[in-house]
Amino acid sequence: MKHGKKYVDSVKQIDKAKLYDTDEALALCTKMASAKFDETVEVHVKLGVDGRHADQQVRGAIVLPHGTGKSVRVLAICKGANVDLAKEAGADFVGAEDMTQKIQQEGWMDFDVLITTPDMMGLVGRLGKILGPRGLMPNPKAGTVTPDIAKAVQEAKAGKIEYRLDKTNIIHCPIGKVSFGPEKLQENFDTLMNAVVRAKPAAAKGQYIRTCVVASTMGPGVRINPAKLG
């Protein structure tokens, strides 16, 4: 793979043999960002678990103290009094059968998060084949299936993110924008990593956090010392 000049210049600033402290890594990550847009900073954490086993799954959701810097479009599928509660909380789209039909029949997907109440899961469940592959299927563990729809909508708009293992036992999560600066990114990073450490399965053996890398959208990855992350 051939990289551009800016990327190559950025790589030269990284000591490939070094495992950085978090503050150093984030400072370097923001310094190297050179795109014309406000790049997203992501964390990639490889865990010493086997996600194929139910007792070794790592999944949850947290609200980052400084949000993600991204405008989140929220769809709330609910009925009755919850409709007004969802609207007041800031949901961009609210409905029930009309919304599920729009997704099924028109292929409408102009939202980033779908939140629903437990009584509506029979309706939303029919969208599994459409929402599942896109990572948009509501889930109680992620707080997107809840009786308190107003709180869930507010948290989603404030920058709530879900963390979960992919097929290679790696968690990929955004922790903000380069424009946040190292200090705010550090607070978001700490919030995410504390949640991941707390979610350690009892069945996990050996070293839990194997590797941790931070990188901006167009920049190279900077390796963080996993021994200092719990």
pLDDT band at 15 (very low <50, low <70, confident <90, very high): confident
User: pTM for this one?
Assistant: 0.81
The answer on pLDDT for 28 being more than 80 is: yes
Provide the b/e sequence for 67-91 (b: ≥16 CB within 10 Å). bbbeebebbbbbeeebbebbeebeb
pLDDT band at 228 (very low <50, low <70, confident <90, very high): confident
Between the alpha carbon of residue 172 and those of residues 56, 122, 127, 140, the distances in Å are: 17, 30, 25, 20
The answer on pLDDT for 123 being more than 70 is: yes
Strands, E assignment, the chain? 40-47, 59-63, 74-77, 93-95, 113-116, 160-164, 170-177, 209-216, 222-224
Residues facing 60 on adjacent strands: 163
Phi, psi of 111 (to 5 degrees): -145, 160
Please state, in angstroms and rounded to a whole number, the distance separating the CA atoms of residues 186 and 199.
20
User: Which is more confident, 34 or 68?
Assistant: 68
What pLDDT is recorded for position 16?
84
Q: In this structure, what token pair is assigned to residue 214?
A: 């931070």
- CA atoms lying within 13 Å on the CB side of residue 4: 6
The answer on pLDDT for 222 being more than 80 is: yes
Q: How do residues 181-191 score in pLDDT, each as one tens digit?
A: 999 999 999 99
Mean of all residue pLDDT scores within the chain: 92
Task: Quote the Cα angle for 59-39-139, to 5°.
Answer: 20
Q: How many CB atoms lie within 10 A of CB 158?
A: 15
